[in-house]
Chain A
Amino acid sequence: MIFYSFFKTLVGREVAVELKNDVVFTGTLHSVDQYLNVKLLNVKVVNHDKYPQLCSLKNCFVRGSVVRYIQIPTEHVDTELLQDAARKENAAKT
């Protein structure tokens, strides 16, 4: 739940999503769900010369299970808060 809550705070930001098939999309984070499925608006393929077949994609839904990384701008992330929250959640579990 912690990362679901975290991504909900990032809705509206530009993120880069790298999939497990090595394709990287940048776009505006529209929504996220508990499986970390992500919907992106106005997507651009980072390597569009390598993947010209994907150029016409505008908005897309990416299944959480195929995401390798989600790259976010560091200035929007309070890493201290995130570390604290993760520590608390792990302490509660054990």
Chain B
Amino acid sequence: MAATLKEWKNESVTVITCDGRIIVGILAGHDQVQNLVLKDAEERVYSMEETVELVPLGLYVIRGDNVALVGDTSSWEDSVQAEPLPAIFQHVL
């Protein structure tokens, strides 16, 4: 079975981008290169000093090149304090 994002269409998903951001939203659309359209998106900013900061983004399009991971969203712990995720470093020649 091929790996697709079909099962998460219209579901709330968690996207980790290549710069280490965590964005949650409803997957309105996607294509074969993981370009994503998210509705009611919000970014969850974690830090060691404060609890989670939620930044509302609205309707968002994320280019597939920048997508690292797409996963389902179960319950979120808002009291978590954590270091932000590292970014993905690709070699640029």
* A interface, CB within 8 angstroms of B: 11, 19-23, 30-33, 37-39, 43, 50-63, 65-66
Q: What residues of chain B lie closer than 8 Å to A38, measured between beta carbons? A: 3
Given A31-B1, A33-B3, A38-B3, A59 and B89 contact (CB-CB distance below 8 Å)? no
- Residues from chain B with Cβ under 8 Å of A19 in the complex: 68-69, 88
Question: Are the C-beta atoms of B68 and A21 separated by less than 8 Å?
Answer: yes
Q: Given the complex, which residues of B lie within 8 Å of A60, measured CB to CB?
A: 14, 69-72
Question: Once bound together, how far apart are the Cα atoms of A60 and B80, in whole Å?
Answer: 21
Q: What's the minimum C-beta distance from B46 to chain A, rounded to whole angstroms?
A: 5
Q: Does B37 contact A (CB under 8 A)?
A: no
- Tell me how many residue pairs across A and B have CB atoms closer than 8 Å: 88
Q: CB < 8 Å: which of A22, A43, A53, A57 contacts B44?
A: A53
Which A residues lie within 8 Å of B85 (CB)?
21, 23, 51, 53-54
A57-B80 contact, Cβ under 8 Å, with A33-B2, A38-B3, A63-B34: no
Which residues of chain B (1-42) have a CB below 8 Å from chain A? 1-5, 8, 14, 16, 18, 20, 22, 34
Q: What is the minimal beta-carbon distance from B65 to any residue of chain A, in angstroms?
A: 8
| Cα A62 to Cα B75 with chains together (Å) | 20
- CB-defined contacts of B64 to chain A, threshold 8 Å: 63
